[in-house]
């Protein structure tokens, strides 16, 4: 019976580790004195890399970011959806076009499925102050056919 | 013993969990039977046996095929399209596609190619499209050129190419698209361009290459469909280098992440020696913009100045009389008059979309544009209390007007009197307020398409849509109706030419039987995302062969007297309704199963009641209601047995009674 329990334990552990393999590791975008930003890819197919050049409660406009990913879809058109939550309550939702047929804002617009993209440069964000608290952010990048290009669950902890 | 059992159990468990993994692998998705398959992201190392030999379109990206050879795809001889994106291909050996005579597209994007054999692309009779994006190519001699005579598009983006010099005999006669995006090309010489002279109407893409020099005359007398130099830091180099060339369109835009210098008027001097019809200069900043800036734009038919930080266009621009299309999206005008439209009298198409500031339409700002046919003023924060006759003064030929996504507009009767030839009008997501029984569209006898979705309309105004005698397509999505119902007399009654009607997300509870009586030409009715019940289907009884969308409503039961109305339509969507799967709905369920080909979204057409059948697809439901023949048989047998039992027990009782007397 002991052997059986051991087998059960081993099996459950193995299947547990296998299922947890599906979740991508949580990465740190930045960690500073009073601000910490973490993210995890929610695209079951792949992870991606992201970082920001500065990490401060007083977010400056036109931040420089670094972003690396393999495209699984063409991005002639690319849109970003952001949903911000605090304690489970929705605070803010918005959608922003990054690449459009008549306005490709960034040099990577129009690149093809299968291409590896590395972007290091400014994004045209407005500057604002992050209020104290813990926030959950769901970010989704998708193309004109609504196919996911990237998906991230992020946590912002501001103390 | 215990040890042995546990070992056995362990073995069983491991094999079980392993089996679960392999079974989930190797399952390609069938998009079209025997023809189109998607096998992406499956970690495959070979073509699965499940794929039929007749497969024509195969998406095989993100698998593992280090070597391609003539056995790899030998079974699939009918292939037309083959996508091998990111399959970690290193080698493409001899005669890989030898038997694939019909193959017309090969995608090798994102593979770390080490070598392609001389004959690796031989076989296809007419190979038209070849994608070699991000395959590490640094020299164009890498591409095996033996079977490329029919090539129409060659994609070489994101490689390490620094020279576009093709081998001398490279076939370019049929080439229409040549894409060199994001390479390291800095210099274009006449010799480089020589091989491309055979191609006519070529589209050449140099976006993301910082061109620092072009040999004078390199593009001399070539004819191009389009030339793209997006993100190039020094525009005057490009314009000088294109001397004496002819191209339909020239894309010279910049991006948010390229640090380009401000443009000066002098930089455009090179344009005087180029024959070009259409230019895009998006995201540039012209520091000294004046009428002289456009000195060399005289031949131009289309000009795109999207996001050029403009707050006005200079007045008195001479010589742009030929311009047909002008795009001024995402700029910072305060008033429409600041575009000084009088400089472009031939304009047929004008777009001032997504203006960064609140745009004041002013009065008669476009009155000199007598030929204007298309005007896009959407997303520009436009607000007007009395629109639009003063604002659109003298636009007598206007056919298409887009005022969607703006601030509230006040409309009165005949609000578009100045543009009587309008055929399409888009007012979606712009709040319209209309006082009393006015008819703002009254004189629009030619209007065919009207989008009024989410306009917060007062739908009780019976005269609102009068005058639209030719209207074919009406979108009223997201508007609300009095008492949440469409009554017998309603604003749609005058629209006798209407073919497409969209009333989704209007919060409707009920539609009167006679509500659509005068709409005899309807062919497409969208009533999805309301709270309608089955009874509202009665309003469509006079229509035949229509597309009817009633998805996401509140339909439980469809009474049998409504089935003929449904029968006469061509396509019906009843998905996401709380359908009843009890015997009270048996007529509909039986009819549904017989007419499955009529239904759209049958995957999501499911039962909500009874609880035991919740979530079951309607097509899978088996109901037996009433008494069937077998039921009758068993009932008769049962009654017969009961009768016999009764007789015997009476007999026994009597015998027992007599014996005991």
Give domain status of residue B40, yes or no.
no
Closest-approach residue (CA) in chain A for B208: A107
Give domain status of residue B406, yes or no.
no
Name which of B3, B8, B9, B257 to mutate to probe chain A: the one with the most chain A Cβ atoms within 10 A of its Cβ: B257
Q: What pLDDT is stored for residue A21 in this prediction? A: 55
Kindly tell me if the per-residue pLDDT of B15 is higher than 50. Answer: no
Per-residue confidence at B647, pLDDT binned at 50, 70, 90? confident
Provide Rg for chain A, Cα atoms: 19
Considering only CB atoms, which chain B residues are within 8 Å of A45?
41
Give domain status of residue A16, yes or no.
no
CATH code: domain of residue A114: 2.60.40.770
Q: How many domains does chain A have?
A: 1
Give domain status of residue A1, yes or no.
no
CB atoms within 10 A of CB B648: 10
CATH code: domain of residue B484: 3.80.10.10
Give domain status of residue B619, yes or no.
yes
Per-residue confidence at B14, pLDDT binned at 50, 70, 90? very low
- Convert the pLDDT of each residue in B92-131 to its tens digit: 999 999 999 999 999 999 999 999 999 999 999 999 999 9
What span, in angstroms and rounded, lies between the C-alpha atoms of A37 and A21? 22
Give domain status of residue A3, yes or no.
no
Q: How many domains does chain B have?
A: 1
**Is the CB of B5 less than 8 angstroms away from the CB of A2?**
no
Range B266-302 burial, b when 16+ CB lie within 10 A, else e: ebbebbeebebbbbbbbbbebeebebebbbbbeebbb
Name which of A107, A120, A121, A122 to mutate to probe chain B: the one with the most chain B Cβ atoms within 10 A of its Cβ: A107
Question: Among candidates B439, B437, B441, which has minimal Cα distance to B451?
Answer: B441
- Convert the pLDDT of each residue in B430-468 to its tens digit: 999 998 899 999 999 999 999 999 999 999 999 999 999
Query: How far does A2 lie from chain B, in Å, by closest CA?
Result: 8
Considering only CB atoms, which chain B residues are within 8 Å of A112?
109, 131, 133, 155, 157
Interface of B with A (CB under 8 A): 2-3, 5-7, 9-10, 13-14, 17, 41, 61-62, 85-86, 107, 109-110, 131, 133-134, 155, 157-158, 181-182, 207-208, 230-231, 253, 255-258, 282-283, 304, 306-307, 327, 329-330
Among A6, A106, A115, select the one facing B133 at the smallest CB separation: A115
Closest-approach residue (CA) in chain A for B43: A45
HSE of B467, CA atoms in CB hemisphere, 13 A: 19
Which residues form the domain of B485? Answer: 472-632
What span, in angstroms and rounded, lies between the C-alpha atoms of B244 and B214? 13
Query: How far does A7 lie from chain B, in Å, by closest CA?
Result: 6
Q: What pLDDT is stored for residue B211 in this prediction? A: 94
B182: Cα separation from own chain's centroid:
27
H/E stretch holding B642 reads: helix B629-659
Which residues form the domain of A128? Answer: 24-158
Q: pTM of the full predicted structure?
A: 0.87
Among B5, B158, B283, select the one facing A115 at the smallest CB separation: B158
Tell me the mean pLDDT in the region B9-35. Answer: 58
**Is the CB of A122 less than 8 angstroms away from the CB of B256?**
yes
Q: What distances in angstroms separate CA B443 from CA A82, B465, B518, one per listed residue?
A: 44, 10, 21
∠ CA(B312), CA(B315), CA(B319), 5° rounding? Answer: 120
Task: Name the pairing type of β-strands B424-426 and B449-451.
Answer: parallel
Tell me the mean pLDDT in the region B20-42. Answer: 77
Q: What pLDDT is stored for residue B24 in this prediction? A: 41
B151 vs B220, residue with greater confidence: B151
Among A10, A18, A102, select the one facing B306 at the smallest CB separation: A102
Query: How far does A78 lie from chain B, in Å, by closest CA?
Result: 15
- ipTM of the complex in this document: 0.85
Question: Among candidates B123, B76, B85, which has minimal Cα distance to B104?
Answer: B123
Give domain status of residue A9, yes or no.
no
**Is the CB of A115 less than 8 angstroms away from the CB of B14?**
no
A11 touches chain B (CB under 8 A): yes
What percent of chain B lies above the pLDDT cut of 90? 84
Give domain status of residue B548, yes or no.
yes
């Amino acid at each position: 019976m002991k052997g059986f329990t051991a087998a059960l334990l081993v099996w459950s552990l193995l299947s547990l580790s296998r299922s947890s393999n599906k979740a991508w590791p949580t990465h740190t975008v930045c960690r500073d004195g009073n601000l910490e930003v973490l993210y995890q890819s929610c695209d079951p197919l792949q992870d991606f890399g992201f970082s920001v050049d500065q990490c401060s409660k007083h977010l400056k406009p036109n931040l420089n970011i670094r972003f690396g990913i393999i495209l699984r879809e063409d991005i002639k058109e690319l849109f970003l959806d952001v949903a911000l939550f605090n304690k489970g309550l929705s605070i803010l939702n918005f959608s922003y076009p990054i690449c459009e047929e008549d306005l490709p804002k960034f040099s990577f617009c129009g690149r093809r499925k299968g291409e590896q993209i590395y972007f290091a440069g400014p994004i045209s964000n407005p500057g604002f102050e992050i209020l104290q608290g813990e926030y959950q952010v769901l970010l989704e990048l998708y193309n004109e056919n609504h196919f996911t290009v990237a998906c991230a669950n992020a946590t912002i902890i501001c103390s | 013993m215990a040890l042995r059992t546990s070992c056995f159990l362990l073995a069983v468990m491991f094999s079980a969990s392993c089996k679960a993994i392999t079974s989930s692998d190797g399952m390609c998705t069938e998009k079209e039977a025997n023809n189109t398959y998607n096998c992406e992201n499956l970690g495959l190392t070979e073509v699965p046996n499940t794929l039929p030999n007749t497969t024509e379109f195969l998406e095989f990206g993100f698998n593992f095929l280090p070597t391609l050879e003539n056995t790899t795809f030998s079974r699939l001889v009918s292939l037309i399209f083959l996508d091998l994106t990111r399959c970690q291909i290193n080698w493409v050996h001899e005669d890989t596609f030898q038997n694939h005579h019909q193959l017309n597209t090969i995608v090798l994007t994102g593979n770390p190619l080490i070598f392609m054999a001389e004959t690796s692309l031989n076989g296809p009779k007419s190979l038209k499209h070849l994608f070699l994006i991000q395959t590490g190519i640094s020299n164009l001699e890498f591409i095996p050129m033996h079977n490329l005579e029919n090539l129409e598009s060659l994609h070489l983006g994101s490689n390490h190419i620094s020279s576009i010099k093709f081998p001398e005999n490279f076939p370019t006669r049929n080439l229409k698209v040549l894409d060199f995006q994001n390479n390291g090309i800095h210099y274009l010489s006449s010799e480089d361009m020589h091989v491309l002279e055979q191609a006519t109407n070529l589209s050449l893409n140099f976006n993301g290459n910082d061109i620092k020099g072009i040999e004078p005359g390199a593009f001399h007398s070539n004819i191009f469909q389009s030339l793209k130099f997006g993100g190039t830091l020094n525009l005057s180099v490009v314009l000088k280098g294109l001397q004496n060339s002819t191209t339909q369109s020239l894309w010279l835009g910049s991006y948010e992440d390229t640090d380009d210098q401000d443009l000066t008027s002098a930089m455009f001097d090179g344009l005087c020696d180029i024959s070009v019809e259409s230019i895009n200069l998006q995201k540039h900043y012209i520091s000294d913009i004046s009428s002289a800036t456009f000195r060399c734009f005289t031949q131009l038919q289309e000009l795109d100045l999207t996001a050029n930080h403009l707050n006005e266009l200079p007045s008195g621009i001479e010589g742009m009389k030929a311009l047909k299309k002008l795009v001024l999206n995402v700029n910072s005008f305060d008033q429409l008059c600041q575009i000084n439209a009088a400089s472009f009298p031939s304009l047929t198409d004008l777009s001032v979309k997504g203006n960064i500031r609140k745009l004041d339409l002013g009065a008669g700002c476009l009155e000199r544009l007598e030929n204007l046919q298309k005007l896009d003023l959407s997303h520009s924060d436009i607000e007007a209390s009395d629109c639009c006759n003063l604002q659109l003064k003298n636009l007598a030929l206007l056919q298409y007007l887009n005022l969607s996504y703006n601030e509230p507009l006040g409309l009165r009767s005949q609000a578009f009197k100045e543009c009587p030839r309008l055929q399409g009008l888009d007012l979606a997501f712009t709040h319209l307020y209309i006082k009393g029984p006015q008819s703002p569209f009254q004189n629009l006898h030619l209007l065919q398409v009207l989008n009024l979705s989410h306009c917060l309309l007062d739908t009780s105004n019976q005269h609102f849509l009068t005058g639209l005698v030719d209207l074919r397509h009406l979108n009223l999505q997201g508007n609300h109706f009095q008492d949440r119902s469409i009554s017998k007399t309603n604003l749609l009654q005058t629209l006798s030419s209407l073919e497409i009607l969209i009333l989704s997300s209007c919060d409707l509870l009920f539609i009167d039987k006679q509500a659509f009586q005068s709409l005899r030409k309807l062919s497409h009715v969208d009533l999805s995302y309301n709270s309608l019940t089955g009874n509202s289907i009665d309003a469509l009884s006079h229509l035949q062969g229509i597309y009817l969308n009633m998805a996401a409503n509140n339909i439980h039961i469809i009474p049998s007297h409504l089935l003929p109305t449904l029968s006469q339509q061509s396509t019906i969507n009843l998905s996401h309704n709380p359908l009843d799967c009890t015997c009270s709905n048996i007529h509909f369920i039986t009819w549904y199963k017989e007419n499955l080909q009529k239904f759209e979204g049958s995957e999501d057409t499911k039962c909500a009641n009874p609880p035991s059948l919740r979530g079951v697809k309607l097509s899978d439901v088996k109901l037996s209601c009433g008494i069937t023949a077998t039921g009758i048989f068993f009932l008769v047998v049962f009654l017969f047995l009961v009768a016999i039992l009764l007789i015997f027990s009476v007999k026994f009782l009597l015998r027992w009674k007599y014996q005991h007397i």
